[in-house]
Amino acid sequence: MTDASFRPLAVLFDLDGTLLDTFPAVTRAWNAAMEPILGRAFDPIEVAAHFGPPDEPMLLAAFPDSLSASEREAAIERYFAEYCLALAQIKPFEGIESLLDWLGARALPMGIVTGKGRRATDVTLAHFGWTDRFEWVVTGSEVALPKPDPEGVRRVARELHMEAANCVFIGDSPADIGAAQNAGMLSVVAGWHDFYLEELRHLSPDFWPQSPFELQRWFEAHLQ
Render 1-32 in DSSP notation, one character per residue.
---TT---SEEEE-SBTTTB--HHHHHHHHHH
CA nearest neighbour of 112 among 159, 48, 144, 51? 159
Tell me if 4 is assigned to some domain: no
Question: Rounded to an integer, what distance in angstroms lies between the CA atom of residue 194 and that of residue 118?
Answer: 25
Which domain does 214 fall in, by range? 10-21+92-222
Catalytic residue annotation: 14
Q: What is the pLDDT of residues 121-172, one digit of tens each?
A: 999 999 999 999 999 999 999 999 999 999 999 999 999 999 999 999 999 9
Domain count, the chain: 2
- Do 16 and 27 lie in one domain? The reply is no
Residue 135 CB-density burial (10 A; 0-12 exposed, 13-18 middle, 19+ buried): middle
For 103-110, what is the mean pLDDT? 96
- Do 82 and 191 lie in one domain? The reply is no
Question: Rounded to an integer, what distance in angstroms lies between the CA atom of residue 50 and that of residue 101?
Answer: 33
- Do 165 and 56 lie in one domain? The reply is no
Tell me if 1 is assigned to some domain: no
Q: What is the pLDDT of residues 170-190, one digit of tens each?
A: 999 999 999 999 999 999 999
Tell me if 72 is assigned to some domain: yes
Q: What is the pLDDT of residues 4-26, one digit of tens each?
A: 789 999 999 999 999 999 999 99
Element (H, E) at 138: strand 136-138
Kindly tell me if the per-residue pLDDT of 58 is higher than 90: yes
Percent of the chain with pLDDT over 70: 99
Tell me if 5 is assigned to some domain: no
Tell me if 3 is assigned to some domain: no
Quickly state the pLDDT bin for 1 (edges 50, 70, 90).
low
Report H helices in 108-203. 118-127, 151-159, 174-183, 197-200
From 36, 65, 89, give the residue that closes a domain: 89
